[in-house]
Chains A and B, each alone.
Chain A
């Protein structure tokens, strides 16, 4: 089991968690940290690292999914990344769902690869897919 921390600007992380749980049911060891506009990066870093400890301790480790490379949430996650926790930026719902379904048996490193692949595959043009299917 790998613990997962979602990190975002504002309520996106909490919203993604709620959306994922609507689809796959309530989740253990899934934490959401949303940055307040008045928050200092140092405080955000402390919040992320304490959330990581709460989901990743006593299991096979943790994975951080941040909303955007170069934003304060991903910047504040950088210390955890340097300490060895995978941090994937650009989280979306398909990525999160795939991670949640695979985290019982995968290692944090394997789960990071799953996140990258499913996140990229999840971005698609429905119209183009429909016209491909019709043609």
Chain B
């Protein structure tokens, strides 16, 4: 599968994705990857509606890797939305090779030791380790809100926040 872009975003498919990212990265399919979301029949019904006409699949990590190896998956240009950094890391470890990896939104989980590193990205010390492992797969992690934003280094942002 030509994964033109991987986005880490626990808001999944929403306004920023449908209004700008899909066309900016030239995707003809959105794949949302998370084991819990893929098991939730309501989410599987709702998210394709949110994609406003872009073909959409809601898959577990394993299913995403299987889809990537399928003949259909190899033909398509796909925007993968990993709900959590741990989903993104599992996809990379499974052999997925996106052209770029960007951190979208990560709403904080109440009760965890998170820090807000931007107005919409919460990171715990455990997640900071996962982001570093993602980057170690050969990526400069960015956290661009819009596709045209200047790419900054997300790991540098983590360091500045003591993470």
Contact = CB atoms under 8 A, between A and B. Distances in A.
Given A37-B119, A70-B18, A43 B107 contact: yes
Interface size class of B (residues with CB under 8 A): 20 to 34
Interface stretch (B5-13, B92-100, B132-140): B5-13
Given A38-B116, A74-B50, A82-B45, A9 B105 contact: no
Interface in B67-119: 105, 107-109, 116, 119
A68 B15 contact: yes
A44 to B, nearest CB: 9
Contacts of A38: 107-108, 116, 119-120, 122
A40 B12 CA distance: 10
Nearest to A77: B46
- Using C-beta atoms within 8 Å of the partner chain, give the interface range for chain A: 10 to 19
B15 A72 contact: yes
Contacts of B107: 38-41, 43
A74 B122 CA distance: 23
Q: Is the interface of B mostly helix, strand, loop or mixed?
A: loop
A74 B47 CA distance: 10
A70 B15 contact: yes
B51 interface: yes
Contacts of A79: 42, 46
B12 A41 contact: yes
A71 B14 contact: yes
B146 to A, nearest CB: 13
**Residue of A9, A38, A79 with highest tally of chain B CB at under 10 A:** A38
Interface string A3-42: 0000001000000000000000000000000000111110
B144 to A, nearest CB: 15
Interface of A: 9, 37-41, 43, 68-72, 74-75, 78-79, 82
Given A41-B12, A71-B14, A72-B11, 9 more contacts: A37-B105, A37-B119, A39-B107, A40-B10, A40-B11, A71-B18, A72-B14, A72-B15, A75-B46
